[in-house]
Amino acid sequence: MSQAPSNPITNLSAGEHPLPSYLQSDNLGPWGNYLQQVDRVIPHLGSLARWAETLKRPKRVLIVDVPIHMDDGTVAHFEGYRVQHNVSRGPGKGGVRFHQDVTLSEVMALSAWMSVKNAAVNVPYGGAKGGIRVDPKKLSRGELERMTRRYTSEIGIIIGPNKDIPAPDVNTNEQIMAWMMDTYSMNTGSTATGVVTGKPVDLGGSLGRREATGRGVYTVGAEAARHIGLEISGSRLAVQGFGNVGGVAGKLFADAGALVVAVQDHGGTIYREAGLDVPALLRHVAEHGSVGGFPQAEVLANDSFWDVDCDILIPAALEQQITAANAHRIKARMIIEGANGPTTPAADDILRDRNVLVLPDVIANAGGVTVSYFEWVQDFSSFFWDEEEINARLVKIMKDAFAGVWNVAQEQKVSLRTATFIVACKRILHTRELRGLYP
């Protein structure tokens, strides 16, 4: 058989468009999982499917060296990333995480999930994400500040209030956003509050932003529970990760009468049959940095977390926690993904067969970026809203978006994840088509 002549410019045969190696799905962790999720939605995109490859390629990937002076006089280098997955619908938007396991594959996936999430709740943003591979708990406050500032300076060539707007994520907070805002403002010569969201309220931040992701998790969870006839009051909850997302969501569920029976974080796994005292646990975490050592609870082996008898499971930590290895053990009727990417595609299939309802990250944890959008709008208009208005608008957006996704899932007989991808990817690719290719 004769081979088709290859094009001397691209070195490819006609019709051959292999993805660059770093974009292929095998063994690529979170990015590979994301690519599988995209493949599941393509058959549902109709004529927009011709643009689908856009979703499989990040628009822009920046890898930066972040050298800093350590307190002991040495120089340390950290690897940082900022990935803009798609900006068809508006500037890039998404958090920055500091974690020892951050990789390019992870940041690419997180940036792509931001594109989908932002389109799912219809805020006028594309998707982006950043991160530094570092264990920030090992840095002094001065080292953390120098690293944050140098990283901000390095990614300063692609971020900006109208280009790409970072926000908090795992191990980053209001103080880090304040340093990022200040560094960008120093470099550009004027105070630019709109360059990051999740800032302190006294620095152009928004009321309600800190609680917004957890509040969104609760809102979507309560809506879904109604659909499947699950009573929140008296239901049993297991939560993985008890920080800004899991802690707030756990508190709101407990306020609604749920029993938070198990909590796991990097400090261990705790359990109380009659329900943990959530306010006391939140105080313990604020003081000690993890749930480890909380006195009014039994300690479980970490792996036993997946066997806990519960109605609702909220993974609110990191990716790839629910896998083919533990999905069959989960007792919950409903999983609400507070984390990004906690469930692998293989686990999704097992859970679907077992009739466990999964509320996917790309809608369930969209409350954070929704209030980030409110913050950005408030910064631009220099007019700030009260918390009641912010929460009311957040709840309306979350409920409306969830209702739309629920209907698509029913009509097209697909999972809520695929339904959310259908709604979001159609929005992204429709703008892609309207804008056309340049040149």
Q: Catalytic residue numbers?
A: 129
Binding mask 190-219 for ligand GLU (x = CB under 6 A): -------x----------------------
Do 427 and 374 form a contact (C-beta atoms < 8 A)?
no
332: Cβ contacts below 8 Å, ≥ 6 apart: 238, 310, 311, 312, 313, 356
The secondary structure element, H or E, covering residue 177 is helix 174-188
Smaller CB separation from ligand GLU, 197 or 269: 197
Q: Which tokens is 347 given?
A: 């686990």
Among 37, 372, 415, 420, binds ligand GLU (CB under 6 A): 372
| 131: contact with ligand GLU by CB under 6 A | no
Smallest separation (angstroms) from ligand GLU to the CB of 46: 28
Q: Which tokens is 113 given?
A: 């999930």
Smaller CB separation from ligand GLU, 171 or 415: 171
Do 270 and 294 form a contact (C-beta atoms < 8 A)?
yes
Measured in whole angstroms, the distance separating CA 178 from the mean position of its chain's CA atoms is 21
Query: 139: exposed, middle or buried (C-beta count within 10 Å: 0-12, 13-18, 19+)?
Result: buried
DSSP H helices, 296-386, are 345-353, 361-364, 367-381
Distances 358 to 42, 87, 332, 388 between C-alpha atoms, Å = 20, 28, 10, 29
| 94: contact with ligand GLU by CB under 6 A | yes
Binding mask 30-69 for ligand GLU (x = CB under 6 A): ----------------------------------------
414: Cβ contacts below 8 Å, ≥ 6 apart: 44, 408, 422
Contact region for ligand GLU (CB under 6 A) — 90-98, 155-163, 180-188, 313-321? Answer: 90-98
The CB-nearest residue to ligand GLU is 95
Query: 404: exposed, middle or buried (C-beta count within 10 Å: 0-12, 13-18, 19+)?
Result: middle
Smallest separation (angstroms) from ligand GLU to the CB of 125: 8
Among 37, 344, 365, 420, binds ligand GLU (CB under 6 A): 365
Smaller CB separation from ligand GLU, 169 or 265: 169
How many residues sit close enough to ligand GLU to count as binding (CB under 6 A)?
11
Contact region for ligand GLU (CB under 6 A) — 47-55, 92-100, 151-159, 389-397? Answer: 92-100
| 378: contact with ligand GLU by CB under 6 A | no
What gap in Å lies between CA 32 and CA 92, rounded to an integer?
A: 21
Smaller CB separation from ligand GLU, 216 or 268: 216
Contact region for ligand GLU (CB under 6 A) — 88-96, 316-324, 326-334, 377-385? Answer: 88-96
Contact region for ligand GLU (CB under 6 A) — 283-291, 312-320, 326-334, 367-375? Answer: 367-375
| DSSP sequence for 28-42 | -HHHHHHHHHHHHHG
Among 95, 241, 315, 341, binds ligand GLU (CB under 6 A): 95
What gap in Å lies between CA 298 and CA 328, rounded to an integer?
A: 24
Residue numbers 278-307 binding ligand GLU by CB under 6 A: none
Contact region for ligand GLU (CB under 6 A) — 63-71, 133-141, 366-374, 419-427? Answer: 366-374
Smaller CB separation from ligand GLU, 33 or 197: 197
> Could you tell me the sign of the dihedral formed by the alpha carbons of 265, 268, 273, 278, in that order?
negative
Identify the DSSP state of 323: -
Do 33 and 344 form a contact (C-beta atoms < 8 A)?
yes
Among 35, 66, 167, 249, binds ligand GLU (CB under 6 A): 167
Smaller CB separation from ligand GLU, 55 or 369: 369
Smallest separation (angstroms) from ligand GLU to the CB of 253: 20
Burial letters 243-272, b for 16+ CB under 10 A, else e: bbbbbbbbbbbbeeebbbbbbbbebbbbbb
Among 340, 343, 415, 420, binds ligand GLU (CB under 6 A): 340
What gap in Å lies between CA 28 and CA 25, rounded to an integer?
A: 6
Among 145, 169, 337, 379, binds ligand GLU (CB under 6 A): 169
Smallest separation (angstroms) from ligand GLU to the CB of 118: 8
What gap in Å lies between CA 121 and CA 118, rounded to an integer?
A: 6
What gap in Å lies between CA 78 and CA 321, rounded to an integer?
A: 26
| Residue whose entry in the numeric block shows the structure tokens 């389109």 | 119
Smaller CB separation from ligand GLU, 250 or 368: 368
| 369: contact with ligand GLU by CB under 6 A | yes
User: Which stretches of the chain bind ligand GLU, using CB under 6 A?
Assistant: 93-95, 167, 169, 197, 340, 365, 368-369, 372
